Structure 1
């Protein structure tokens, strides 16, 4: 009797649980498994999103044993399918694979076994499914022993919006066209809502059951550490502090080889893995790691997809990952057995620049733009003071109630402050700007910027313009990230990140929800004020005397907390107190530098001193004009027209000399050297010449492909400031390139508006 014939029919089992025990030895299903298996037995299409270690494979393996025919499993990697088949065969389950590692005779033998009904699970690559000869074999198999279903493993590879898109997966919809009567199961560990929809659409799933299990892996501890100049020593110390097997991920093959060599020299048992190694070497290294012949694997992200090693005790990212989805997947290769495991990310901004450079090598500009936004989200994750598990789960559309207490931000939290008023100002500004702009523009408006974009859009006339001058850019960015991570505001994911209000946003604006922010000790507050917002100190005797008493109080409070006095309040805030002499907490809260927490913590104490001083000296208190967030209503959908200055500054003789040298074929650097000026000065000359309509061959200055990318960002009309554009485009674009293309683009826009 063959193994396939020995498979017990469904009717012989009183319950699926007994079938589970019989074939796999488990007493009960994990969450979501039974529901998926029941759908598969009914030939219903299914989309399964389960975290690593959640039991995805069982969702098609058990139905394969209980249904008539062969389950065809699409797997992206030879090593992965071989590992899966070896595990099944060891469990007494008839499984095989067909791939390029087999010679002709082995292929014929396995195909014959399939046609005899000896096999229940067949693993193949997506490329093989595009081979007409193999398709004919599947037709034959379907008509003889039958095909019980197609299981698409690592289905996120189908979607261009996923973290590991593979073009060959895109053609798997042909299975639906060639075998319309056979059900499809798509399975992956990670997929955002957008990726899920794309998978279902690309595979032509029919009314699929969608099973999304929790992405929470409570056994994993997450931490982020700054990587200093002694990064390798930090890594070595971390490796030696951990027990069991570990994976160290790097961005480049060169870094992998360097680290593997250094660790070996320092006595660690380690092997490298990357696409630059020969196939045989990669397979051998992976096998040795899985079999515990070595303790460490240093690898690029080419390693690990579907690796069936449950006892990886730690994963270290020595370089920053490119996106949160990939990081979740890679770090999730630790602790698949449910036992405690440790995930460490080392953050160095030089590595971020390297990642941006690699993104710049992508041929598709849209893909570059999306990748840059995903990298920024990853940096935000690393810099965040919010519970790291909250951020991860929020990325996949899941909410974590409370804190995880399994990450560095939960176990060693910075002080928590109530920033509800600041959040209301921020969200009010998002609404006033009609939910059409990104975070940096909102911060510019809040802080009262008069940059070209703000003025051209008329946002300097908004009621929210300048109401956030008392907070620094870093503080507003901290709040913005916190709102995103706590899902109090949304952001588009198409590469042009635009803030959008959600239900929680409106609850905050209606004072139905409070906002707490974990504020790191090194956050940079506002140190200088604009002349319109600063208080001119009048040096009157009574004002100076009150200031002296306020400083004394500040010193006492600071000593009680063992902090420097400026942590309580900056001197500029004390001067405002001494001059304006507020009489109520509401007025005190409107002073620049007085946030919600400081108001609650210190307001009464300082007001007591002010009241007593005024009473003793017969002084009145001063009224304070409010700068709180104005009442907010739903914004209209009218778009404000974009305008540009039609009168750039006049061209002088120095600019014309630059023009003459440029038209003679000299580069910016050559002109600068000839004239004894800096290259940036020459670039600004050319910028002004372009704006004035002079004949400048822009292609000689900026390659057309790079021009196109810069223009795409400009066409969004979201930002015109050089710093904002550079942040959006990445460090691979120079300020001079952006400056010159921006000038040409603005000249074109002005010409259109004038016509």
Structure 2
């Protein structure tokens, strides 16, 4: 990139309205701009999309994004366009004419970001089109979203993703950025190998979603009443959106019908509905026409709704990784959100039955191991985060202070002697058996297999009769989470000692664990609020701003969060900005949104303050750099115009911009003229000498602004069309409306 490249923070604020990068975003963007391959493991809501979207706007050519999710690519395109960024998608929902039209725009260089499904990428027709695009416009980057789909060890393997290795064969010089929210070490290795990434930089953000509160509640005999009470608790002052997950279609229909009867707007989503029904219900949820969606696990992949305030699993999740994904659909805007499991052993029996229906014994074995892991999570008295993050190989030192076990901890006891017995038994069984077998040996079981193996003759046989099997299993899980034991994850859950095990056996450390008899009582919910609580006035203002946001979104036929996120509205409700300068400081307000929504939101805030005897600014929005809807309209300003503006605002002259962007000087001046017409703050005096401006303005006053040729004939041939365009744009902007 040229040395004159604008500061990345400036570009971030300009295009997306954020003042600073999150996690490793800045470093990732820098690597992509240097043409390096990158693998990004970043949790849901961490800002993965920005890691390829921002570089796409700062480099020549088009970025190709491969995504398996039609709904997600459509949402992403809508959000980008609302930020003034030219993006499009090509998928099966489009007609032949629509595809041709979009391909034409791409070949003309009008589109910066193209979303496609993996199935389309290697069709012969698209392969030919991609060649044309590469030659005429250039391809800046390939971004592979949901990259875990490439691995058979991932939670959502897609065979068509296996073909993506061809990208490196066909376009070896173009960098690839692969992104996913969850990937174990095995999956990460598989992604790099399958995609043929060239010495990639791997970024692994913490899997810790700090804004999410986790809890497990024992399911009662009246689970619907529990669910209803939980929903009513969440929908207090600020009614929030929620997702309820169920194991079966029957439960989905029952729960959604009952909620509707109880006055809560809810809709079902499962595979038994028609495609049209599912799409309509999903759209209503995304656009805030209903507050709750009740769904099987078929719902959620590709849903880009950031303001989901709670996720409740009415039935047991399939496995720990699925639970992390499904619960992670809450709080993607980084605001406080809650994740609840209603845990009942009846659900366990149902899942075991479903596992038994699998034809492949290997699949059954792995599914059973995954079920054991989620049961361990539900029963564990240990910090919920510690259990989840341990699964992904990330160490976490509790307390997290945002889960039920940390906020309502059970008693801690010293179990060092029991831990020594357990580890000794694992060692004497040659580290070749799982937890249940070790427990059987310790408790002196008379099972035939123990005698066949000769384990009844071990010194550890029957030395643990004083503890129940559940207590020994509780100790085993605690030692796994604390790193004193490890359990294999290849379908055969074998226990093995670790380097830390010896510390217990030699009495260098003591083992203290939370002890609970059983998960018999509902755990009291003490959710930690991670976002600033709003006072009564701010809550009232936020309600009004949400209503305004919904009206604007409906007018544009887009989801409300595309206009502004809840976190942006929360800032507005707290800070009450009433001028353009103050409004531009709100997170999520970039150059485009300042022009598009600034005046209407500040007017609403000003009126609220006036109605409630709050401070009203003496300085109006119009006293700031004014936006006048003359000449070029707001919708005419594209990402390429905004990139020119960004370079100009960072001190580059039109000729410098021309060299930096490798486009004609006349094109740059055309951009600037349209930016002036649209009301962007451009100092014309730095572009055209004042005396020459005067001559051009006099010519315009005499012959009118409509014909550049007539104006030039009046000024004389020493004046060129480019400076005339700039002065005319400024002249039209300053003319009073009729």
Classify the secondary structure of the residue corresponding to 1:28: coil
Q: Alpha-carbon deviation of 1:523?
A: 8.7
Question: Which residues of 2 match residues 292-691 of structure 1 at below 5 A?
Answer: 292-522=288-518
Per the alignment, residue 25 of structure 2 pairs with 33
Give CA deviations for 1:447-500 in whole Å, capped at 9, x if unaligned.
223432222222222222222122111110111111122232111111110011
Evaluate the alpha carbon distance shift between residue 363 and residue 57 of structure 1 in structure 2; reply closer, same or farther with a 3 A threshold: farther
Evaluate the alpha carbon distance shift between residue 455 and residue 361 of structure 1 in structure 2; reply closer, same or farther with a 3 A threshold: closer
Question: Which residues of 2 match residues 240-319 of structure 1 at below 5 A?
Answer: 240-243=232-235, 244-319=240-315
2:218–2:519 CA contact under 8 A, matched in 1: no
2:143–2:176 CA contact under 8 A, matched in 1: yes
Classify the secondary structure of the residue corresponding to 1:430: helix
Q: Alpha-carbon deviation of 1:299?
A: 1.1
Per the alignment, residue 199 of structure 1 pairs with 191
Classify the secondary structure of the residue corresponding to 1:47: strand
1:454 and 1:362 mapped to 2: Cα distance? 29
- Choose which of 205, 214, 229 in structure 1 pairs with 2:206: 214
2:356 and 2:125 mapped to 1: Cα distance? 39
Q: Which stretch shifts more, 39-48 or 273-282?
A: 273-282
Tell me, yes or no, if structure 1 residue 175 matches structure 2 residue 167.
Answer: yes
Q: Alpha-carbon deviation of 1:38?
A: 1.4
Evaluate the alpha carbon distance shift between residue 15 and residue 512 of structure 1 in structure 2; reply closer, same or farther with a 3 A threshold: farther
2:70–2:302 CA contact under 8 A, matched in 1: no
1:390–1:485 CA contact under 8 A, matched in 2: yes
Q: Alpha-carbon deviation of 1:235?
A: 0.9
Per the alignment, residue 713 of structure 1 pairs with none
Per the alignment, residue 110 of structure 2 pairs with 118
| Cα RMSD (Å) | 1.7
Tell me, yes or no, if structure 1 residue 85 matches structure 2 residue 77.
Answer: yes
Please, what TM-score do these two structures have when normalized by structure 2? 0.68
2:122 and 2:372 mapped to 1: Cα distance? 37
Q: Which runs of 5+ in 2 are unaligned?
A: 521-738
Evaluate the alpha carbon distance shift between residue 225 and residue 156 of structure 1 in structure 2; reply closer, same or farther with a 3 A threshold: same
1:219 and 1:476 mapped to 2: Cα distance? 33
2:411 and 2:454 mapped to 1: Cα distance? 38
1:153–1:188 CA contact under 8 A, matched in 2: yes
Evaluate the alpha carbon distance shift between residue 396 and residue 220 of structure 1 in structure 2; reply closer, same or farther with a 3 A threshold: same
2:482 and 2:128 mapped to 1: Cα distance? 52
Classify the secondary structure of the residue corresponding to 1:512: coil
1:423 and 1:523 mapped to 2: Cα distance? 22
1:114 and 1:414 mapped to 2: Cα distance? 60
Per the alignment, residue 571 of structure 1 pairs with none
Q: Which stretch shifts more, 383-392 or 442-451?
A: 442-451
Evaluate the alpha carbon distance shift between residue 522 and residue 88 of structure 1 in structure 2; reply closer, same or farther with a 3 A threshold: closer
Give CA deviations for 1:131-171 in whole Å, capped at 9, x if unaligned.
22212211221122111111111112222222222222222
2:350 and 2:197 mapped to 1: Cα distance? 39
2:120 and 2:468 mapped to 1: Cα distance? 57
Q: Which stretch shifts more, 279-288 or 420-429?
A: 279-288
Classify the secondary structure of the residue corresponding to 2:118: coil
Tell me, yes or no, if structure 1 residue 57 matches structure 2 residue 49.
Answer: yes
2:242–2:292 CA contact under 8 A, matched in 1: yes
Q: Which runs of 5+ in 1 are unaligned?
A: 1-8, 525-755
1:301 and 1:281 mapped to 2: Cα distance? 16
Evaluate the alpha carbon distance shift between residue 364 and residue 144 of structure 1 in structure 2; reply closer, same or farther with a 3 A threshold: farther
1:274–1:282 CA contact under 8 A, matched in 2: yes
Q: Alpha-carbon deviation of 1:295?
A: 0.6
Classify the secondary structure of the residue corresponding to 2:309: strand
Q: Alpha-carbon deviation of 1:12?
A: 4.0
Give CA deviations for 1:431-461 in whole Å, capped at 9, x if unaligned.
1212111001111121223432222222222
Give CA deviations for 1:102-123 in whole Å, capped at 9, x if unaligned.
0010000001111111111111
Q: Alpha-carbon deviation of 1:379?
A: 0.8
Aligned residues: 516
1:391–1:486 CA contact under 8 A, matched in 2: no
- Choose which of 158, 164, 168 in structure 1 pairs with 2:156: 164
Tell me, yes or no, if structure 1 residue 141 matches structure 2 residue 120.
Answer: no
1:359 and 1:63 mapped to 2: Cα distance? 45
Evaluate the alpha carbon distance shift between residue 323 and residue 242 of structure 1 in structure 2; reply closer, same or farther with a 3 A threshold: same
Q: Alpha-carbon deviation of 1:10?
A: 5.9
1:523 and 1:288 mapped to 2: Cα distance? 37
1:474–1:523 CA contact under 8 A, matched in 2: no
Give CA deviations for 1:27-84 in whole Å, capped at 9, x if unaligned.
1111111121111112211111111111100111111111221111111111111001
